[in-house]
Amino acid sequence: MAKPRRLAVGAFLIPALLVSAAACGGDETDASPGATTPSASKDPASSAPSLAEPEKGGEAEAMAAYRAHWQEVEKAYAKNSIEGTDIKKTSVGPARLAIEKSVKSARENGQAVKGSPGLSNLTVTKADLNRDVPKVHLSSCLDVSEWVIYNKSTGEPVPQPSDRLTKYTVTSLLEKWPDGWVVTKDEPHQDTQC
């Protein structure tokens, strides 16, 4: 009977695997609320850096890259595969590994995800842009209430614990590599409502 229990716990596939993989490394991030930003499924170009604020350019680029990354995460879960997405371009290390494992686990358990996550309160909590590899720490609020895990064979939603948070804080680390900003750490804090 382990498999049904695993499926119920699988309701936390996305954030739970992000937590376990994110714990493998990276710097600590500070969680602090900020201005609301569009959901992950909206156009990230709306946050392009302003030429009037060159010191904010790197931070704005990192935020735009993070939004674009979440668009690819949404695609991967909808397809049950990272193939045909830009996950390998938008993330590396623990962040990518968590997505790959979670998508694979959902597929192997006969589950899929539909709907869209919401991403708001995207805030830079720390930036170190004067390094060989610039870093930006972000905090955001992830809303998974419209992101439904369902059983592919029955089409029914996978039961969720009644006390689970559907809006919680996520702290992230992005680094600027030669091809652009990549997510290296994405850590959900499922016990921190936002």
**Whole-model pTM?**
0.73
15-24: pLDDT as tens digits: 433 333 333 3
Q: What is the DSSP string of the chain?
A: -HHHHHHHHGGGHHHHHHHHHHTTS--------------TTS-GGGGPPPTT-GGGHHHHHHHHHHHHHHHHHHHHHHHTSSTTSSHHHHB-HHHHHHHHHHHHHHHHTTEEEEE--EEEEEEEEEEE-SSSS-EEEEEEEEE-TTEEEEETTT-PBPP--TT--SEEEEEEEEEEETTEEEEEEEEEEEEEE-
**pLDDT digit string, tens, across residues 6-57:** 222 233 335 433 333 333 333 333 333 333 333 343 333 333 333 334 447 8
